[in-house]
Structures are given as structure tokens and as C-alpha cells.
A and B are shown apart, each in its own frame.
Chain A
Amino acid sequence: MITKLGFRNIFRNKRRSIITCLIMGLGLAALIFADAFLRGLNENMITSVTSSFIGDGQLHRKNFLKTRESEKTVENSEQTLSELKRNPLIKLAVPRTIASGMISSPTDVLPIALYGITPDEEKISSIKDTVTLGNYLSSSVPDQIMIGEKLAKFLGSTVGDKVVITTAQAKTGVLSQEMFRIVGIFKMKNKEMDSSMAFINIAKAQELMGIQNDFHEIVFKFESKQSIINPPQYFLNSFSQGDNEALSWKKLVPAIDAGIQLTSYSLYIGSFILFAIIALSTMNTLFMSLYERMYEFGIMKAIGTRPSFIIKLIVIEAAALAFVSSIFGTLVGGGITLITKMTGINHLTDVEYLGTTIKTAIRPLPSTHQYIIYPLAIFIFAIISSIYPALSAGRINPSKSMRRD
């Protein structure tokens, strides 16, 4: 009888019940979609930052990133590189040299960061895919150089032109110079990289800096997606022995990690606001219904209905509304998430956010918790919100509530 009464009461004022279900359901749908979108955005940012150049992590001599001193090459570089390559967590590991230098064209001289790379192994980054003019470096032609689009513009140079690189020898500090021919121009859609970076063959770079077969950096990529999102600390610690230091992208680009945490917090705040709206909306609906039915509750109590029956009745009504809303919200939220996952959201493509350019369409990421925890939370919240109106209904004084004057 109590369930029958509860359900029939919901259909008593259909418009109000529908509006309440819409508020709760659409709120839940928005929460599910926002969560999936932010997860998709976070993953997109991580992929953008790790696949372009930085990799999932890097290994250097301690303090190299602060000082950028050429003599701070990776300790036991060859051995460390082969250990990394053998590690089951690692999919790829490539060496790089890094030096500060000057690039001169017939019209200008500019400071640059000169990277020595192994062209055939540098699959870890998307350097090859960013070439907009000319070709990618060839391992067999040592005097080739690739420069950024903006840098080429500043230098007034293009593919086929010659430039001179000046850098210091690592141990002696003696300047060494070499002429290179521009083989390709790249565009990484990052202002800093496109205006001040150049790539040459690693062997040539080692020769210029006088560091034999040593290198300054090992960039690595993890095998699993889970390790990319949450790089295992034990792994990083195991490669941070001696004078070397292994860092994940979280430490290399802290702004991205902070951004991800910020989006998580904003989701928590959004969820809190949403749950507050749902709670107030449920309470409002139940109180409106309560005041309309005050006389009826008075009668029910007068003829011998226990207060607990009335309390249960109100809670059941709230639970029924929440149940319908949860199903509706889950279907709508899930539907929007799946559709946008398939189509992708392109509006943020090429937008620079937290120093990283979002390169591909954002695809919202569905997750089990969105379809279990959130609907359950809405359901529980609605029930909790119904307790106060239910207690008020249970406390109704029949003789007072039956007075119609």
C-alpha cells in the first residue's frame, strides 16, 4: 500500500514530477558528460605533451635540466640506455644531446637549443610528422639540420639554405663551428619550440660538443597507458641511482599535472554544486507536495496512521523520483558521451592550454564510476534530502492541519 500510495502521489502532479526528474536527470547527465569530457581532455593533454617531444619520461644527469651544462652527460650512458630498453615497462628509449648554441644565416644570428637525435629511432616523438617543408633528417647525411618555422622566418632561410652552428666543446669550452644545410622545416604549434629549436644527427652533435658517444638525455615511452597516466614511482626511483635522475612527464611539465588536478577539483566543486541543487530541488518539490497534502496527512494521522508510515511514504516518493531521474540522467549522459566520443570535440583543437597545444579532437572517456557512483550518489542524496520534509510530515498535528480556515 505504501509503495502504491507513493507512486500514485508522484503521478498526481505530473508536471512538477517531470520538472523535478528533469532537473535531477539533466544534472546527472551533465555530471557524467563533464567527468568524461575532463578525463578525455586530461588524456588528450597528456598525449599531446608526451607524444610531441617530451616523451612519457626522461633521464638526465642530476641538475642537468637546471644548469644545461654540456659536460653533464648521462652517467654510464650506453649501459643505462640498454637497461632502459630491456625494462619490461618500457616500449621505447632514445638518446639525445642538448646544447645551447648560435645559428647564423646570411641575414641574422640567433641563439638556439640544438638537439642531437637519432633520426631512425626518434619515433618516440612526433618530430617527423611536424615537418611542413622539405624532409626529415637522414641518418646517412651528417650535415643536415631541421629548424622551426618561426626560426626559419627570423633567419630568412628556407630548405636548401646553409646555416652555421656555433657551440662550445663540453670539457674545454672551446668554440666549435660547423656548416649545415637546412633539410626540413618543422611546425610543432608551440611558439618556443618553433622559434628556437634545431635538430641535427646525434653523431654530429657529439662530435661538435666533444662528448664521444655520450648523451645528455634518454627519452622513454611506457608500454602501458596506465603507466603513462600514473608513472610508477618505483621504476623512476630504480633509474635515479648514482648521479642520474629519471623524471616523469609530471615533473618535466608540472603545469600539465597541476592543470589536471585543477580540472579534478573543478569537477568536485561542480559535483558539489550539482548535488546541492539536486538536494534543494528535491526538498522544494517534497515541501510543495507536503503543503498541498497537509490536510490529507492530517486525515491519515487522524484515522490512525503512524508517523513512521508517513515518513516512509515521503522517502519512497523521493526515492522513486530519484530512481527515474538516475536512469534518465544516465541514459542521456551516457548517450551524449558516447556520441561525442565517436565524433570527437574539435572546438579546442590547436588551442594552447597550460603551455601545451591540444593537437587532436577531445574524445570524452566513459568510465564505470560515471554510471555507478554518480547515479547512486544522486539517489542517496535525494533520499537524504527527503528526510527533513519527511520528518516534518511525520510531525504534522492532525487537528491543526485539518483546519481549512
Chain B
Amino acid sequence: MNTLQEVIFMDKISKHYGHDDNRVIAVDHVELKIHRGEFTALVGPSGSGKTTLLNIMSGLDTPSTGTTYLAGQSISTMKGNQLSDYRRDHIGFIFQSYNLIPVLTAYENVEYILLLQKIPLKERRDRVYAILKEVGLEGRENRRPTELSGGQQQRVAVARAIASKPDIILADEPTANLDSHTGSALLDMMKELNEKEKITFVFSTHDQMIMDRAKRLIILKDGKVHRDEVRA
């Protein structure tokens, strides 16, 4: 069913809200595999089920039916600490509004997830400095989110997402709040990480810049996979 190359396997996933006449089907029998090293974009109009699918992929939401496998483990039945730990170790998140912890500096925001993973101090420090350098934030380690531009905050978010060495990074409209120049630079950086480090990225987006860079486009319509294109 799921192979070593598969990071995510969504087996007949459906998600509906409400009952009877008010029933809304957000995701309808989606069967999807995401492979290691992919740079995939989930695209579609508003209400097509992109964010719901991303949430189910990460275990933030539970499907009404079907099962999600992440790194070979079913996460649909996980709860509480087990699910938290699984997300911490296997998934990196990048959100539209950067979503950094406002009272922590750039360094501490990245360090936070490593602390949760109980990484020893020296390794933690080395890794945080290296990652912040990699995303171009060297010298800005001690700035709080409010002291950084939108693009810089999103770079911190990327640094936080890759710091825990996850199997997959899920990015929900990561460029929506950025100007095209900053968004483009950020995407180039993520693309580079994907190519160099073989980090798997899945985006939920409307952004043409992401679609242009994606190796695979999954087009959703009315909660179903309308088209699944793999690009050369």
C-alpha cells in the first residue's frame, strides 16, 4: 500500500461538515500520494478543499472517512501527545501570516521546535545559526518578529519548518502576504532547499509563482482531485 518513497498517502479521504440539508462536503474521496523530494502545489478556487486537505495531511484536522499515512504511520487515529510529537518530528509548517511566536526572537522561534525535540544545547545552537544563515538571516538572530519585514518573518518561518528535519513541509499560501519580489525570492530559496536537501514541499496556493515552480500540480475542484500533473 505505502512504500518507502511515499511520505504521505491519503486513502479515500472525505471531510464533510454539518448534517442533512446543511451538509457541506469539503473533501470528497481523495486518494493521493506525495513522494519524497516532491515540490507539489495544491491549487484550485476558494472552497475547493485545499486548506482542508492540507490540514488533514498534517493531522490538524481529522477526516470524516479514510486514513492518512505519514511516513508509513496512520495519523488519522492519533491523538493528544502522540499526534503532537508526530507533527513535531515529521512535519514542518509555513503559514500565510508567518505565525511566529511574537515574544521570541528569530533565533528563539527556530530554537523552540528543537527544544521540543529535546536537542542538546550545542547541537541546537549550531543548527539554528546554520539554518538562519542558510535562509539569509545572519545577523538578525536577536530580532523579534515585529522588528523584521514580512519577507524576513517568512524566512524565519521557513527556518523553523526545516529546523526539525521533517519528512515534509506543508505551506499554506506562504506568499499571500508578500510582494512579488519578496515572494519570488522566498520561493527560490525553498526550491533550492528542495533540490539541495531533498526536502518535500506541499503548497496550498493560488499564486502563479508557486505553480510555475511546482514539479507537480494537483488541481482540486469541489473537494475532488480534478487533475494531477507531474511536470518535467
Show the binding face of A for B, using Cβ within 8 Å.
Answer: 1, 4-5, 8-9, 12, 295-296, 299-309, 398-399, 402, 404
**Bound: A300/B112 CA distance, A:** 10
**Closest B residue by C-beta to A394:** B80
**Closest B residue by C-beta to A5:** B103
Do A302 and B115 touch across chains, with their CB atoms under 8 A apart? Answer: no
Query: B224 interface residue, CB < 8 Å from A?
Result: no
Q: How far is the CB of A163 from chain B (nearest CB, A)?
A: 86
Query: B85 interface residue, CB < 8 Å from A?
Result: yes
- Out of A304, A308, A309, which one reaches B89, CB within 8 Å? A304
Q: Quick one: given A5-B103, A402-B95, are A303 and B113 in contact (CB under 8 Å)?
A: yes
**Bound: A304/B163 CA distance, A:** 13
Q: Provide the residues of chain A in CB contact with B91, threshold 8 Å.
A: 304
**Closest A residue by C-beta to B97:** A404
- Count of A-B contacts with CB under 8 A? 67
Show the binding face of B for A, using Cβ within 8 Å.
Answer: 55, 58, 60-61, 80-81, 84-89, 91-93, 95, 97, 99, 101-104, 108, 111-113, 115-116, 160, 164
Do A299 and B60 touch across chains, with their CB atoms under 8 A apart? Answer: no
Q: How far is the CB of A402 from chain B (nearest CB, A)?
A: 7
Do A306 and B99 touch across chains, with their CB atoms under 8 A apart? Answer: no
Do A301 and B84 touch across chains, with their CB atoms under 8 A apart? Answer: yes
Do B93 and A302 touch across chains, with their CB atoms under 8 A apart? Answer: yes
Q: Provide the residues of chain B in CB contact with A302, threshold 8 Å.
A: 58, 60, 87, 93
Do A299 and B99 touch across chains, with their CB atoms under 8 A apart? Answer: yes
**Bound: A306/B95 CA distance, A:** 20
**Bound: A303/B160 CA distance, A:** 9
* Other A-B pairs, 18, CB within 8 Å; known A303-B113, A309-B116: A1-B108, A1-B115, A5-B103, A8-B103, A9-B103, A295-B99, A299-B99, A300-B101, A301-B84, A303-B92, A304-B87, A304-B164, A305-B88, A306-B80, A306-B116, A307-B81, A399-B60, A399-B61
**Bound: A307/B85 CA distance, A:** 11
Q: How far is the CB of B89 from chain A (nearest CB, A)?
A: 7
The prevalent SS among residues of B at the interface is: helix
Q: Provide the residues of chain B in CB contact with A1, threshold 8 Å.
A: 108, 111-112, 115
**Bound: A9/B102 CA distance, A:** 9
Do B104 and A303 touch across chains, with their CB atoms under 8 A apart? Answer: no
Q: Provide the residues of chain B in CB contact with A306, threshold 8 Å.
A: 80-81, 84-85, 116
Q: Quick one: given A1-B115, A402-B95, A404-B97, are A304 and B103 in contact (CB under 8 Å)?
A: no
Q: Provide the residues of chain B in CB contact with A5, threshold 8 Å.
A: 101, 103-104
Q: Provide the residues of chain B in CB contact with A300, threshold 8 Å.
A: 101
Q: How far is the CB of A294 from chain B (nearest CB, A)?
A: 12
Q: Provide the residues of chain A in CB contact with B102, threshold 8 Å.
A: 12, 296
Do B61 and A8 touch across chains, with their CB atoms under 8 A apart? Answer: no
Do B95 and A299 touch across chains, with their CB atoms under 8 A apart? Answer: yes
Do B99 and A304 touch across chains, with their CB atoms under 8 A apart? Answer: no
**Closest A residue by C-beta to B82:** A306
Q: List 27 A-B contacts (CB under 8 A).
A: A5-B103, A5-B104, A12-B103, A296-B101, A299-B95, A299-B99, A300-B101, A301-B84, A302-B58, A302-B87, A303-B88, A303-B112, A303-B113, A303-B116, A303-B160, A304-B85, A304-B86, A304-B87, A304-B91, A304-B116, A304-B164, A306-B80, A306-B84, A306-B85, A307-B81, A399-B60, A404-B97
